[in-house]
Chain A
Amino acid sequence: GAVVSQHPSRVICKSGTSVKIECRSLDFQATTMFWYRQFPKKSLMLMATSNEGSKATYEQGVEKDKFLINHASLTLSTLTVTSAHPEDSSFYICSASVGRHGYTFGSGTRLTVV
């Protein structure tokens, strides 16, 4: 149980375009979801936390206008990278809170901006 499905797994986009990444909870209601960014040979960096029906809370240094997060339902959270640039190329991972202090993760999205 507690499966999170993340799509797409890979995406290549042109510089200046926007890309949407979806994260769905398949068999549970995800009240709180998290978006991480993983750089090569680096840790997962928490970008933002979203609660269903409210605005996302962004970590320090993360541009909220570039990384738009929508958590409109208990089973879907989306991350839109707007006006993408090559430096936005990275591995993005979503996660959902499960129970008390439990987490489940999506399989990640490899974004390449050319």
Chain B
Amino acid sequence: AQSVSQHNHHVILSEAASLELGCNYSYGGTVNLFWYVQYPGQHLQLLLKYFSGDPLVKGIKGFEAEFIKSKFSFNLRKPSVQWSDTAEYFCAVNVPNSNSGYALNFGKGTSLLVTP
């Protein structure tokens, strides 16, 4: 079955530390990959996405992700986190759904806590 795996469920970092959140997917076709962030009490917001082209994708707020096709991975990175990055992070893959279209298939999410 198609799936999205996020290996880190809870991450605690100090401010200025570097961040890398893992994401692997199991889907054999062409993939569109996404990272979303959900701040406490807010809706999901798009951080970045990969459709094609340069596998290193830069997103908002200093985040970037690298698509490695051979590893079926799309890890999220940020060189220096801030307290305001405390949030839930979701990796997602756009896959065909029952409606004969596409829908997002999400990983279980990673809860990031950045301490001062």
Instruction: List chain A positions with a Cβ less than 8 A from chain B.
Output: 4, 6, 32, 34, 36, 41-44, 46, 49, 51, 57-60, 93, 95, 97, 101, 103, 105-108
Contact = CB atoms under 8 A, between A and B. Distances in A.
Contact of A34 (B4, B42, B43, B103): B103
Contacts of A46: 97, 103-105
A107 B43 contact: yes
Interface string B9-40: 10000000000000000000000100010000
B101 A105 contact: no
A106 B97 contact: no
B43 A49 contact: no
Counting contact residues on chain B (CB < 8 A from A), the size range is 20 to 34
Nearest to A107: B43
A57 B96 CA distance: 13
21 contacts: A4-B43, A6-B43, A34-B103, A41-B109, A42-B108, A42-B109, A43-B4, A43-B90, A44-B90, A44-B106, A46-B97, A49-B97, A49-B99, A51-B99, A95-B44, A97-B101, A101-B102, A105-B44, A105-B45, A107-B42, A108-B43
A95 B90 CA distance: 15
B94 interface: yes
B24 to A, nearest CB: 14
A111 B109 CA distance: 21
A113 B54 CA distance: 47
B104 A103 contact: yes
The 4 closest A-B CB pairs, nearest first, are A49-B99, A57-B99, A107-B43, A105-B44
